[in-house]
Amino acid sequence: MGVSTEPLDVAVSRIDAGSSIAAGLALEHSIPFAAGHELLRQGIDDLTMIGPISDLLFDQLIGGGAISEIRAAWVGNVSAGTGYRFREAVESGEISVENHSNFSIALALQAGAMGVPYLPTRSLLGSDIFEQSDLFVETTDPFDGDRIALVPAIEPDWTIVHAQRASPHGDVHLWGNTGIVEPAVGAAENVLVTAEEIVEPDVLKSDPSRVAITRDQVTSIVECPFGAHPSPVAGHYNRDNEYYLRYSRRTETQDDFDEWASEWVDGVADRDEYATLVESDLEITEPTVAAEVNYGQ
Protein backbone atom coordinates (compact mmCIF):
# COMPACT_ATOMS: atom_id res chain seq x y z
CA MET A 1 0.00 0.00 0.00
CA GLY A 2 3.02 2.32 0.01
CA VAL A 3 3.89 4.66 2.86
CA SER A 4 1.76 6.50 5.40
CA THR A 5 1.84 10.17 6.32
CA GLU A 6 3.89 11.30 9.29
CA PRO A 7 4.97 14.57 10.95
CA LEU A 8 7.84 16.50 9.37
CA ASP A 9 10.15 16.05 12.34
CA VAL A 10 9.68 12.28 12.27
CA ALA A 11 10.29 12.06 8.53
CA VAL A 12 13.43 14.21 8.64
CA SER A 13 14.80 12.26 11.62
CA ARG A 14 15.24 9.28 9.26
CA ILE A 15 18.03 11.18 7.48
CA ASP A 16 21.43 10.33 8.94
CA ALA A 17 24.29 12.76 9.40
CA GLY A 18 26.70 12.43 6.50
CA SER A 19 23.94 11.73 3.97
CA SER A 20 23.88 13.04 0.41
CA ILE A 21 20.64 14.88 -0.41
CA ALA A 22 19.26 16.14 -3.71
CA ALA A 23 16.93 19.12 -3.29
CA GLY A 24 15.88 22.31 -5.05
CA LEU A 25 15.34 20.26 -8.19
CA ALA A 26 12.57 22.35 -9.77
CA LEU A 27 14.94 25.33 -10.03
CA GLU A 28 13.23 28.36 -8.42
CA HIS A 29 9.90 26.54 -8.02
CA SER A 30 8.74 24.49 -5.05
CA ILE A 31 12.02 24.34 -3.09
CA PRO A 32 11.60 22.24 0.10
CA PHE A 33 12.54 24.93 2.63
CA ALA A 34 10.45 23.44 5.46
CA ALA A 35 12.38 20.17 5.29
CA GLY A 36 15.66 22.08 5.14
CA HIS A 37 14.79 24.06 8.25
CA GLU A 38 13.91 20.84 10.05
CA LEU A 39 17.36 19.46 9.19
CA LEU A 40 18.80 22.50 10.95
CA ARG A 41 16.57 22.14 14.00
CA GLN A 42 17.62 18.52 14.42
CA GLY A 43 21.32 19.28 13.95
CA ILE A 44 21.74 16.78 11.11
CA ASP A 45 25.10 17.74 9.65
CA ASP A 46 28.02 16.71 7.43
CA LEU A 47 25.60 16.70 4.51
CA THR A 48 26.41 16.66 0.80
CA MET A 49 23.79 18.73 -1.01
CA ILE A 50 23.07 18.11 -4.69
CA GLY A 51 21.04 20.29 -7.02
CA PRO A 52 20.96 22.64 -10.00
CA ILE A 53 19.87 26.04 -8.61
CA SER A 54 18.97 25.73 -4.93
CA ASP A 55 18.44 29.46 -4.39
CA LEU A 56 18.64 30.19 -0.65
CA LEU A 57 18.15 26.66 0.66
CA PHE A 58 21.79 25.60 0.48
CA ASP A 59 22.94 28.99 1.80
CA GLN A 60 20.74 28.56 4.86
CA LEU A 61 21.95 25.02 5.46
CA ILE A 62 25.54 26.24 5.27
CA GLY A 63 24.81 29.03 7.74
CA GLY A 64 23.40 26.44 10.13
CA GLY A 65 26.53 24.27 9.88
CA ALA A 66 24.79 21.38 8.17
CA ILE A 67 26.84 21.07 4.95
CA SER A 68 30.33 19.75 4.26
CA GLU A 69 30.09 19.45 0.46
CA ILE A 70 28.02 20.87 -2.39
CA ARG A 71 27.56 19.35 -5.84
CA ALA A 72 25.69 22.01 -7.77
CA ALA A 73 25.54 24.38 -10.71
CA TRP A 74 24.78 27.52 -8.70
CA VAL A 75 24.27 28.56 -5.09
CA GLY A 76 23.26 32.00 -3.92
CA ASN A 77 20.34 34.41 -3.76
CA VAL A 78 18.56 34.83 -7.10
CA SER A 79 17.13 38.18 -6.04
CA ALA A 80 20.27 39.67 -4.49
CA GLY A 81 23.20 37.86 -6.11
CA THR A 82 25.53 36.14 -3.71
CA GLY A 83 24.60 34.04 -0.70
CA TYR A 84 26.87 35.34 2.04
CA ARG A 85 27.03 32.10 4.01
CA PHE A 86 27.96 30.12 0.87
CA ARG A 87 30.57 32.67 -0.22
CA GLU A 88 32.24 32.83 3.19
CA ALA A 89 32.29 29.03 3.56
CA VAL A 90 33.93 28.60 0.15
CA GLU A 91 36.52 31.33 0.75
CA SER A 92 37.43 29.86 4.16
CA GLY A 93 37.58 26.28 2.88
CA GLU A 94 34.84 25.23 5.29
CA ILE A 95 33.01 23.36 2.53
CA SER A 96 34.08 21.71 -0.71
CA VAL A 97 32.32 22.42 -3.98
CA GLU A 98 31.97 20.17 -7.01
CA ASN A 99 31.21 22.47 -9.94
CA HIS A 100 28.55 21.41 -12.41
CA SER A 101 26.46 22.93 -15.13
CA ASN A 102 22.69 22.59 -14.85
CA PHE A 103 22.85 20.01 -17.62
CA SER A 104 25.65 17.95 -16.08
CA ILE A 105 23.71 17.68 -12.80
CA ALA A 106 20.69 16.52 -14.79
CA LEU A 107 22.79 13.97 -16.68
CA ALA A 108 24.47 12.71 -13.50
CA LEU A 109 21.12 12.08 -11.81
CA GLN A 110 19.68 10.57 -14.99
CA ALA A 111 22.62 8.16 -15.10
CA GLY A 112 21.94 7.26 -11.46
CA ALA A 113 18.28 6.66 -12.25
CA MET A 114 19.20 4.46 -15.22
CA GLY A 115 21.74 2.47 -13.22
CA VAL A 116 24.58 3.26 -15.62
CA PRO A 117 28.00 4.59 -14.52
CA TYR A 118 27.95 7.71 -16.71
CA LEU A 119 26.28 9.49 -19.61
CA PRO A 120 27.99 11.27 -22.52
CA THR A 121 27.58 14.89 -23.56
CA ARG A 122 29.18 17.50 -25.78
CA SER A 123 27.80 20.45 -23.80
CA LEU A 124 30.87 20.72 -21.52
CA LEU A 125 33.38 20.81 -24.37
CA GLY A 126 34.95 24.23 -24.84
CA SER A 127 34.44 25.23 -21.22
CA ASP A 128 37.17 25.49 -18.57
CA ILE A 129 35.50 22.92 -16.32
CA PHE A 130 38.17 20.33 -17.16
CA GLU A 131 40.82 22.70 -15.78
CA GLN A 132 38.89 23.08 -12.53
CA SER A 133 38.02 19.44 -11.92
CA ASP A 134 38.98 15.92 -12.90
CA LEU A 135 35.43 14.74 -12.26
CA PHE A 136 34.49 14.76 -15.94
CA VAL A 137 36.39 12.71 -18.51
CA GLU A 138 37.09 14.01 -21.99
CA THR A 139 37.46 11.18 -24.47
CA THR A 140 36.76 10.12 -28.05
CA ASP A 141 33.38 8.92 -29.26
CA PRO A 142 33.99 5.31 -30.40
CA PHE A 143 31.39 5.68 -33.16
CA ASP A 144 32.37 8.88 -34.95
CA GLY A 145 35.75 9.79 -33.45
CA ASP A 146 34.61 13.21 -32.19
CA ARG A 147 35.46 14.60 -28.76
CA ILE A 148 32.98 13.80 -26.03
CA ALA A 149 32.67 14.28 -22.25
CA LEU A 150 31.55 11.65 -19.77
CA VAL A 151 29.48 12.69 -16.73
CA PRO A 152 29.59 10.19 -13.83
CA ALA A 153 26.36 9.09 -12.16
CA ILE A 154 25.10 10.58 -8.91
CA GLU A 155 22.96 8.42 -6.62
CA PRO A 156 21.81 10.45 -3.59
CA ASP A 157 20.99 8.83 -0.29
CA TRP A 158 17.88 11.05 -0.23
CA THR A 159 15.89 13.20 -2.61
CA ILE A 160 13.54 15.75 -1.04
CA VAL A 161 10.63 17.09 -3.10
CA HIS A 162 7.87 19.54 -2.28
CA ALA A 163 4.65 19.02 -4.27
CA GLN A 164 1.12 20.36 -4.48
CA ARG A 165 -0.65 17.25 -3.26
CA ALA A 166 -0.24 13.59 -2.44
CA SER A 167 -2.33 10.66 -1.34
CA PRO A 168 -1.79 9.06 2.08
CA HIS A 169 -0.14 6.15 0.24
CA GLY A 170 2.57 8.30 -1.35
CA ASP A 171 1.39 8.93 -4.90
CA VAL A 172 2.16 12.54 -5.81
CA HIS A 173 0.68 15.22 -8.06
CA LEU A 174 3.24 17.83 -9.11
CA TRP A 175 2.76 20.49 -11.78
CA GLY A 176 4.33 23.71 -12.94
CA ASN A 177 8.10 23.72 -13.41
CA THR A 178 9.33 20.28 -12.33
CA GLY A 179 12.94 20.69 -13.45
CA ILE A 180 14.91 17.50 -12.80
CA VAL A 181 12.69 16.02 -10.10
CA GLU A 182 12.07 12.84 -12.09
CA PRO A 183 15.71 11.70 -12.48
CA ALA A 184 16.56 12.77 -8.92
CA VAL A 185 13.72 10.65 -7.54
CA GLY A 186 14.76 7.72 -9.70
CA ALA A 187 18.41 7.98 -8.66
CA ALA A 188 17.84 8.22 -4.89
CA GLU A 189 17.84 5.43 -2.36
CA ASN A 190 15.14 7.24 -0.34
CA VAL A 191 12.59 9.94 -1.21
CA LEU A 192 10.94 12.36 1.20
CA VAL A 193 7.91 14.23 -0.17
CA THR A 194 6.35 17.20 1.56
CA ALA A 195 3.01 18.28 0.11
CA GLU A 196 0.74 21.28 0.43
CA GLU A 197 -2.12 18.89 1.11
CA ILE A 198 -2.85 15.21 1.57
CA VAL A 199 -5.94 14.20 -0.42
CA GLU A 200 -8.00 11.08 -0.93
CA PRO A 201 -6.50 8.56 -3.39
CA ASP A 202 -9.43 9.10 -5.77
CA VAL A 203 -8.21 12.66 -6.38
CA LEU A 204 -4.92 11.31 -7.69
CA LYS A 205 -6.69 8.64 -9.71
CA SER A 206 -8.90 11.27 -11.34
CA ASP A 207 -5.86 12.74 -13.10
CA PRO A 208 -3.32 9.93 -13.55
CA SER A 209 -1.22 11.84 -16.09
CA ARG A 210 -0.27 14.35 -13.40
CA VAL A 211 1.17 11.71 -11.06
CA ALA A 212 4.86 12.62 -11.04
CA ILE A 213 5.97 10.27 -8.25
CA THR A 214 4.48 6.91 -7.35
CA ARG A 215 4.20 5.27 -3.95
CA ASP A 216 6.84 2.64 -4.69
CA GLN A 217 9.45 5.43 -4.92
CA VAL A 218 8.54 7.21 -1.68
CA THR A 219 10.01 6.60 1.79
CA SER A 220 8.15 9.31 3.73
CA ILE A 221 5.18 11.56 2.97
CA VAL A 222 4.37 14.71 4.98
CA GLU A 223 1.50 17.17 4.80
CA CYS A 224 3.22 20.53 5.00
CA PRO A 225 1.23 23.60 3.88
CA PHE A 226 3.47 26.56 2.96
CA GLY A 227 6.37 24.10 2.93
CA ALA A 228 8.22 25.72 0.02
CA HIS A 229 8.09 29.36 1.14
CA PRO A 230 9.75 31.67 0.10
CA SER A 231 9.80 29.91 -3.27
CA PRO A 232 6.53 29.72 -5.23
CA VAL A 233 4.24 26.73 -5.61
CA ALA A 234 2.09 26.79 -8.74
CA GLY A 235 -1.57 27.07 -7.84
CA HIS A 236 -0.91 27.81 -4.15
CA TYR A 237 1.24 30.92 -3.59
CA ASN A 238 3.62 33.25 -5.37
CA ARG A 239 7.30 33.85 -4.80
CA ASP A 240 8.09 36.05 -1.78
CA ASN A 241 10.47 38.49 -3.43
CA GLU A 242 10.77 40.73 -0.37
CA TYR A 243 11.87 37.78 1.78
CA TYR A 244 14.91 37.23 -0.43
CA LEU A 245 15.95 40.87 -0.15
CA ARG A 246 15.45 40.94 3.62
CA TYR A 247 17.38 37.70 4.02
CA SER A 248 20.30 39.20 2.10
CA ARG A 249 20.38 42.27 4.33
CA ARG A 250 20.18 40.19 7.51
CA THR A 251 22.80 37.49 6.84
CA GLU A 252 26.00 39.28 5.80
CA THR A 253 27.89 37.86 8.81
CA GLN A 254 27.60 34.59 10.69
CA ASP A 255 26.34 36.42 13.76
CA ASP A 256 23.70 38.06 11.61
CA PHE A 257 22.64 34.68 10.25
CA ASP A 258 22.46 33.16 13.74
CA GLU A 259 20.12 35.96 14.78
CA TRP A 260 18.00 35.42 11.68
CA ALA A 261 17.85 31.64 12.28
CA SER A 262 16.85 32.09 15.90
CA GLU A 263 13.73 33.83 14.61
CA TRP A 264 12.88 31.94 11.40
CA VAL A 265 14.14 28.41 12.15
CA ASP A 266 14.69 27.69 15.83
CA GLY A 267 12.08 30.18 16.99
CA VAL A 268 9.08 28.49 15.37
CA ALA A 269 7.37 25.30 16.50
CA ASP A 270 5.87 24.37 13.14
CA ARG A 271 5.05 25.73 9.68
CA ASP A 272 1.83 27.34 10.90
CA GLU A 273 3.80 29.47 13.33
CA TYR A 274 6.39 30.13 10.64
CA ALA A 275 3.64 31.55 8.42
CA THR A 276 2.87 34.21 11.04
CA LEU A 277 6.30 35.76 10.38
CA VAL A 278 5.62 36.25 6.68
CA GLU A 279 4.77 39.84 5.84
CA SER A 280 4.09 39.56 2.10
CA ASP A 281 0.72 38.87 0.51
CA LEU A 282 1.44 35.88 -1.72
CA GLU A 283 -2.11 34.96 -2.67
CA ILE A 284 -2.70 34.01 -6.27
CA THR A 285 -5.19 36.58 -7.54
CA GLU A 286 -5.39 35.58 -11.20
CA PRO A 287 -5.54 31.78 -11.28
CA THR A 288 -4.92 30.03 -14.56
CA VAL A 289 -6.95 26.84 -14.79
CA ALA A 290 -6.16 24.08 -17.26
CA ALA A 291 -8.82 22.84 -19.64
CA GLU A 292 -10.79 19.83 -18.44
CA VAL A 293 -9.43 16.44 -19.46
CA ASN A 294 -11.82 13.56 -20.15
CA TYR A 295 -10.49 10.10 -19.25
CA GLY A 296 -13.85 8.40 -19.88
CA GLN A 297 -14.03 5.04 -21.62
Q: Does residue 143 have a pLDDT over 60?
A: yes
Q: Across residues 21-50, what is the average pLDDT?
A: 97
Q: Across residues 80-87, what is the average pLDDT?
A: 92
Q: Does residue 115 have a pLDDT over 80?
A: yes
Rounded Cα distance between 174 and 217, Å, is: 14
pLDDT at 43: 97
Q: Across residues 210-237, what is the average pLDDT?
A: 96
Mean pLDDT of the chain: 94
34 against 288, higher pLDDT: 34
pLDDT at 70: 97
Could you state, in order of their start, the residue ranges of all structural domains in the chain?
Answer: 8-107+154-272, 118-152
Q: Does residue 63 have a pLDDT over 60?
A: yes
Closest CA to 19 of 59, 76, 68: 68
Strand, helix or coil for residue 40:
helix
Q: Across residues 110-137, what is the average pLDDT?
A: 92
Q: Across residues 230-246, what is the average pLDDT?
A: 96
**Residue 29 half-sphere exposure, CB side, CA atoms within 13 Å?**
15
pLDDT at 2: 63
Q: What percent of the chain has pLDDT over 70?
A: 99
pLDDT band of residue 285 (cuts 50, 70, 90) is confident
Closest CA to 172 of 41, 3, 18: 3
Rounded Cα distance between 230 and 297, Å, is: 42
Rounded Cα distance between 244 and 265, Å, is: 15
pTM: 0.95
For 8-107+154-272, CATH number? 3.40.1080.10
pLDDT at 287: 83
Give the angle 283-25-150 at the CA atoms, nearest 5°: 160
Q: Across residues 70-79, what is the average pLDDT?
A: 92
- List b or e across 67-85, with b for residues whose CB sees 16 or more CB atoms inside 10 angstroms: bbebbbbbbbbbbeeebbb
pLDDT band of residue 149 (cuts 50, 70, 90) is very high
Q: Does residue 1 have a pLDDT over 80?
A: no
> With contact defined as beta carbons under 8 Å apart, do 24 and 52 qualify?
yes
Strand 158-166 vs strand 172-173: parallel, antiparallel, or unpaired? antiparallel
pLDDT at 193: 98
Q: Does residue 4 have a pLDDT over 80?
A: no
Q: Across residues 108-117, what is the average pLDDT?
A: 98
69 against 270, higher pLDDT: 69
